[in-house]
Structure 1
Amino acid sequence: MTRFDARDAGQEPTNFLYPFIDAREDDAQSLLADLAASAEAKAAESLALRRSTLESNAESLGRAAAEMARRFAAGGRLFTFGNGGSCTDSTTLAMLFARPPIGKPLPAWSLTADQAIVTALGNDVGFELVFARQLIARARAGDIAIAMSTSGNSPNLLAALAEARRRGMYTVGFAGYNGGAFADNPDVDVCFIVGSQSVHRIQEAQALLGYQLWVAVHERADATGVTMS
């Protein structure tokens, strides 16, 4: 049996993340120092991006929060959706609104939470319509749709946003890079863009944006005396 040598992992596609691991360093302290420096650099990069993202999206956050607070007060409901890592982020965001650590719970659901529905629709009508068809069945005018994506180009998210627009919903998109197809899209009322080329950093910043949106919705309701149902 051929013995596996970790130093032969240089061909792995993820090698670019920690190139110094494959540098055949014999000094353990040097390797640990490199690992620590890499972690610190990534943390600093993430912090800087999150700060700049909040600044660049401040006006959009205020606008979206005001409209969402108004719609919640009128009986509107929130539906979130995304793919992959953005699926988990959209589910976390829905849970934050529906079961907050403090403040008033608001009606919010993730369209990825029910595996039976997602797989049935994917099998019966196609994955591109797994979210749009749920909105057809559940959503109504006055509701809110939030689509989360790193690229802003996912066909099933775009189909759902188009359906949301047809149904009179308020539509919010989260995207990375330059916003992709979410940006300047007539089906998207507000698009939060995280200007980064790293999927990891994009999703970290989007998580903070989602939290800030939740905070801003409650602050806007309190400031205007709006009672959210």
Structure 2
Amino acid sequence: MNLSFFDQFMSPTLMGLPLIILSLTIPWLLIPNSTNQLFGNRLFFLQLWFLYDLTKQLFSPLNPKGHKWSLLLTSLMMFLLSVNLLGLFPYTFTPTTQLSMNLGLALPLWLATVLIGLRNQPTSTLGHLLPEGTPTLLIPILIMIETISLFIRPLALGVRLTANLTAGHLLIQLISTAVFVLLPLMPVVATMTAMILLLLTLLEIAVAMIQAYVFVLLLSLYLQENV
């Protein structure tokens, strides 16, 4: 019974073929494309307003050099947001519950920010490893601690996204299983549990949106330190 709770995090297959590629492709279709029409529909303008506001929020503290990343990080934000929300529908799969995928997104982008900092401003980038005014005896220890904290950033990015989504999905499945078990035995308790499940689902929708935003926001902060 306990193992069946984790079956939802396995990639579903159809005729022996994993459907994770399909679940990764569909969210990109939701991102609006530019058209030659003078006026678009309401959904198109709503998406454009959301993307404009999001890009302004993320890149307003950055230097003009960091604005080159706007298209990449905005697309990543929309992709993570779409994947997280689509994973809440029945009979779907959430690719962002896989640590391998989240690390595959976090590690190259984090490494790119570090390499940009080493190329453009090596002194300032290496200066983050040692705060100014550090006593001589503490210099080796602080350099080691700051280096570990630097290399743990992509791991923290991937684990944070994976852990939050996995915990929410597991909790929803546990409570929904309790509702089906209690329904014939204690209908009143089952109804109250179903109301809690509804509130938890709304909370999970908020978590899916917030975690996508936090993932991209932290990447923009890492970029800000290196441009």
Question: Is TM-score (shorter-chain normalized) higher than 0.5?
Answer: no
Larger strand proportion, structure 1 or 2?
1
Instruction: Kindly indicate whether structure 1 or structure 2 has the higher relative contact order, using CA contacts under 8 Å at least 6 residues apart.
Output: 2
Instruction: Pick the structure with greater CA Rg.
Output: 2
**TM-score (normalised: structure 2):** 0.28
**TM-score (normalised: structure 1):** 0.28
